[in-house]
Amino acid sequence: MEDIQLKKSYLKVDQPSYISSLICLLVGSIQIVLTRIWAIDASAHFALLTIAIVLISFAIYSITTSIKNSPSVLFNDDILLIGSNAYYWTDFKKASFTGKKPCKCIFRYSMEGMMLQFGNEKPVYLLDYVYSDLWKLKLFVQQIVIEQKKKMEFLQPESPQDDSIYSRKIFYKGDCFFSAYSILYWGTVAILIILSLEFCHIYYLSDCTLAGTILLICITAILMLLFWAISCTMHFFELSDNYITAKNHILFWKKETYSLQNIREVGFDKGFINNRRFSLKLITKDFKYSIYPAGTLSQKQWKDLGENLKKHGVKVRYE
């Protein structure tokens, strides 16, 4: 078999870390710009610069830490190379393909991934967030290393069929306008619009100077980043006898459908507030991985979704 190099998903490596880092970087830049625009005394000038340096330093540290924790991965029939470390399949001991694994990324202690054990070596952990095609390594280990097959067998993609005529669809949508999370979302959008108008006014008063232009660009970037980040948490689900479909209240063009027969397991992840269910993790039989944050769903809807998936023979993990 030819060497296979896993592809890194830089935008998926510890997303909270990246989003917070970019916001800190932009806010730090704004602080520096404000010291050039505002006529302030020396102590205020020093305070703004100090805060800016702290924020920018945190952003750089956070991003570089995430990148360091995502080494290159290459494997073939004989060897697995992770960064500068080499592991031989003849020393293979055991593996775990799904479930939360230890993570060194900022803001998270564990994430979905796989574990490999070689001889007396320490366990090796690889995270699904980091590599877009980690499923290839999982499939290789399961079929070639464990089951001793001669060749990897890939799951044939299935085109979703419209089964609305033959089965009843159940929607798990939540309230995208009046739920607590939705009110938080739309309230944030309203605040962002007001802030953008205010900063446009400031830009006009600054006579469109270079500093004012930089300030406007940074503010616009922060607003767009926050809007995108919150919109990505507005998923909902449609379940029928044969398929589950993930859609988005705001990003209405997003639609991904999975055959229930091709799902290995799903996981319900808790959010950061009161241990409430917040995300659905979906893993297909060939180990492909997707995650759908759904902040508008009530805890009762999460429970009903899990029970209905179990009735269809889908393994459900509560984490």
- Amino acid 165: pLDDT: 47
- Pairwise CA distance, residues 303 & 202, whole Å: 48
* CA distances (Å), origin 181, targets 139, 170, 216, 226, 255: 38, 22, 29, 15, 21
From CA 58, how far away is CA 18, in angstroms rounded?
11
State the DSSP H helix or E strand holding residue 224, giving kind and residue range, or none if neither: helix 210-231
* Positions of E strands within 50-98: 73-75, 79-82, 85-88, 92-96
Query: Along the 319 residues of the chain, how does pLDDT read in single tens digits?
Result: 788 899 887 555 455 566 667 767 777 777 676 666 665 667 777 777 777 788 777 777 777 777 777 888 999 999 999 988 999 999 999 999 998 888 766 555 678 889 999 988 899 999 888 888 899 999 999 999 999 988 888 776 666 565 554 567 888 887 777 776 677 777 777 777 776 676 666 666 556 566 666 666 777 777 777 777 778 888 899 998 889 999 998 888 889 999 999 999 999 887 656 566 788 999 999 999 888 988 888 888 999 999 999 999 999 998 7
209: nearest Cα among 9, 31, 34: 34
Q: Which of 317, 286, 16 is nearest to 137 (CA)?
A: 286
Helix pair angle (42-68, 15-37), 10° resolution = 160
CATH 2.30.29.30 for domain 234-318:
yes
Pairing label, strands 79-82, 85-88: antiparallel
> How much is the pLDDT for 93?
92
Domain limits of the chain? 8-67+178-231, 71-146, 234-318
The tokens for 273 are: 């507030």
Indicate the angle between helix axes 210-231 and 180-205, nearest 10 degrees.
170
- Rounded CA separation 158/2 (Å): 27
What is the pLDDT, as a whole number, of residue 233?
Answer: 82
**Amino acid residing at 189:** V
